[in-house]
Amino acid sequence: MTDFGGAIKKSRDYDLAIIGVPFDEKSCFLRGAALGPAAIRAASTGRALNPFTELGVNLEKEAVLVDWGDVDTSGDVDKTFSRIEAAVLEVVGKKARPIILGGDHSVTYPVVRALAKKFSALSLLHFDAHPDLYEELYGDRYSHACPFARIMEEGLAKELVQVGVRAATSDQRAVASRHGVRMIEMKDLEGGPVLSFRNPLYISFDLDALDPAFAPGVSHHEPGGLTTRQAVDIIHSLKANLVGMDVVELNPTRDPSGITAAAAVKIIKETAGKMVQKGRGSRKN
Ligand code: MN
Ligand code: MN
């Protein structure tokens, strides 16, 4: 049972599509993120949780959520990135919203490349301990430490807001300021920021944004992060038209209790609920 609280249906037409990307070839430290999609699906079973979000959306009744399956990640990286792009284009071509299960964070670049073909102005909300703005890492411009540098230099997004950062280098700060990136660092986080976006919004959620106490199942432990509650509150209070999301960097080899996979499911459910809610704003405000 791998069904997001029982909400997954089989249908040719749908509102939301889960896309797995079992890929970790661009991880600079530990492998394991390729096991992420299967672990997230397993943790989502309707035998353990129900299809309601905290804001009262019934994902089973109020939306058609399908599981598109996994992108083929065999062969070289260029092929994988092209297949990711094609999968996202197929979903947005149906006016539906993709929910990508990573995989390491490198997969966000081809996802956004696809979205940029559909949305001329796109905003990004990026939860992460790291800015992922390296020009290159160990000679690799497509490392999981680099996707937002590629996205911004290619002009694929108009706006990038980062939340949860606590491992920025001076080089990455320089890249951030060159591209007008708004970095909401942990050291400056006060209460729950209410974020509003005028352009269609894509959320990229690196699970290491969460404190390792709440989400140990990631490759790069960086203490001092968000509580799962803080992340959910920020998502609930968003004022934006959400057009898709990813949850990346789950490393099940470091998640023996499954708590990180459970946090991933929680983040996905609550964000999917925001996608389903009609109109802009939230019931909280
Ligand atoms: Mn990342
Ligand atoms: Mn990270």
Residues 107-166 pLDDT 10s: 999 999 999 999 999 999 999 999 999 999 999 999 999 999 999 999 999 999 999 999
pLDDT band for position 2 (cuts 50, 70, 90): low
Q: How far is the CA of 172 from the centre of ligand 2 (A)?
A: 13
Distance between Cα 14 and ligand 2 center (Å): 31
Whether 97 and 137 have beta carbons less than 8 Å apart is answered as: no
Q: Mean pLDDT over residues 167-188, rounded? A: 98
> What is the arithmetic mean of pLDDT over 22-32?
96
The continuous run of DSSP H or E covering 199 comes out as none
Structure tokens at 198: 């005028």
pLDDT category at 284 given cuts 50, 70, 90 is: very low
Rounded to whole angstroms, how far apart are CA atoms 84 and 91?
11
Indicate which ligand has the atom closest to the C-alpha of 126: 1
- CATH numbers and ranges of domains, the chain: 8-279 (3.40.800.10)
Separation in Å, CA 204 to CA 8, 25, 105, 111, 127: 22, 19, 9, 10, 6
Amino acid 97: pLDDT? 98
Q: What is the mean pLDDT of residues 102-109?
A: 98
Average pLDDT value over all residues in the chain:
95
Element holding 267 (H helix, E strand): helix 259-276
Comparing CA positions, the residue from 130, 131, 99, 100 lying closest to residue 218 is 130
Average pLDDT over residues 22-29: 96
Judge contact between 52 and 58, C-beta under 8 A.
yes
Q: How far is CA 81 from the centre of its chain?
A: 16
27 Cα to the center of ligand 2, angstroms: 11
State in Å: Cα 167 to ligand 2 middle: 9
Of 73, 159, 178, 176, the C-alpha closest to 116 is 159
Ligand that comes closest to the CA of residue 218: 2
Q: Does 50 score more than 90 pLDDT?
A: yes
Whether the per-residue pLDDT at 282 is higher than 80: the answer is no
Which residues sit opposite 210 in a β-bridge?
A: 226
- 58 pLDDT exceeds 50? yes
Q: How does pLDDT run across 181-233, given as a tens digit for each residue?
A: 999 999 999 888 999 999 999 999 999 999 999 999 999 999 999 999 999 99
Q: Give residue 127 CA to ligand 2 midpoint distance, Å.
A: 8
Ligand nearest to the CA of 102: 1
Compute how many other C-beta atoms are within 10 angstroms of the C-beta atom of residue 217: 29
| This model's pTM is above 0.85 | yes
Nearest ligand by distance to the CA of 130: 2
Cα-to-centroid distance, 147 and ligand 1 (Å): 8
In angstroms, what is the span from residue 23 Cα to ligand 1's centroid? 14
Question: For residue 183, what is the enclosing H or E element?
Answer: strand 182-185
Distances (CA, A) of 24 to 4, 21, 115, 196, 264: 23, 9, 22, 32, 17
| Ligand in nearest proximity to the CA of 145 | 1
For 88-106, the DSSP string reads HHHHHHTT-EEEEEESSGG
Alpha carbon of 144 to ligand 2 centroid (Å): 8
